[in-house]
Amino acid sequence: MTDETKGMWLGLVGVAVFSLTLPFTRMAVAELNPVFVAFGRAVVAALCSIILLWKLKAPLPTAAQWKALALTALGVVVGFPLFSSVAMRYVPAAHGAIVLGILPLATAMFGALRFGERPSAGFWIAAVIGSIIVIVFALSQGGGGLQPADLALLAAVVAAAMGYAEGGRLSQTMGGQQVICWALVLALPILLPITILLGWQYGVSASPKAWLGFAYVSLFSMFIGFFFWYKGLALGGIARVGQVQLLQPFLTLLGAALILGETLDSSNMLFALAVLVVVALGRKMAVRRQTA
């Protein structure tokens, strides 16, 4: 199995983990403050990271690595959780899943602009077609227009794409586990006091169901999922492995139906099939890479 193929499979595992983020986030923010959920999940994951880094006897990052870690943390530790948690207070997880469908294209753009990856014209065509499919689906579900919460979701897309690209590139030199762990530890001094203040102000009284949602996004979405995702990006390339994310909206739709009881109809399956075809085509297109 080539590194690129390994990267695709690892990326798929990461996407499967991330695909349940919105349903479990919606479950949590139904009773807990959305900003508390966004920052609290990072605090829990950061505490787990400290233990893991200690067990791995991980060396301190270099000055250049700290800079990349700061951008990674800004994107996936702060930005995406914050904007997606706020959006999930107002729109169904199924709606959010489709808007986030443009994330693969955004990730590829960050990889191209920041790190010299040069996808072929065929790759860009496949990425654009896939993104158009999910946007059309979002518009059809929203009655022909985008809702105000979509602005938060679009901000979440930009934040996640930046964090994925920065972290994926950095994983080539320091490993996916250490990347997300150090990014979380870096953000901890800022997020911990804010989380404590929000918990004190809004309270932390919630049902076991809400805390189950919080536990998932803390341990899986914010921690374990990144082990697979960043390793996959490092092996297979940011642009190519990032296209696996085109499957995420439809995995999220399935998760939202099973976990939250949201509607899943036949049109969803048709769009899912169309996206699968696009992913298969994009997988065959050339992508020139520069190693770190």
Which of 13, 10, 23, 16 lies closest to 97 in space, CA to CA?
23
Q: Taking residues 175-187, what's their average pLDDT?
A: 92
Instruction: Tell me: pLDDT of 137 over 60.
Output: yes
Over residues 150-163, the pLDDT tens digits come to 889 989 999 999 99
Residue 155: per-residue pLDDT: 93
Q: Which residue has the higher pLDDT, 271 or 190?
A: 190
Instruction: Tell me: pLDDT of 76 over 90.
Output: yes
266 in Cβ contact with 250 (< 8 Å): no
The total domain count for the chain is 1
* Full-model pTM: 0.85
Q: Taking residues 30-49, what's their average pLDDT?
A: 96
Residue ranges making up the domain that contains 274: 3-288
Let me know the angle formed at the C-alpha of 74 by 71 and 75, rounded to the nearest 5 degrees: 90
Residue 21: per-residue pLDDT: 95
Q: Which residue has the higher pLDDT, 182 or 4?
A: 182
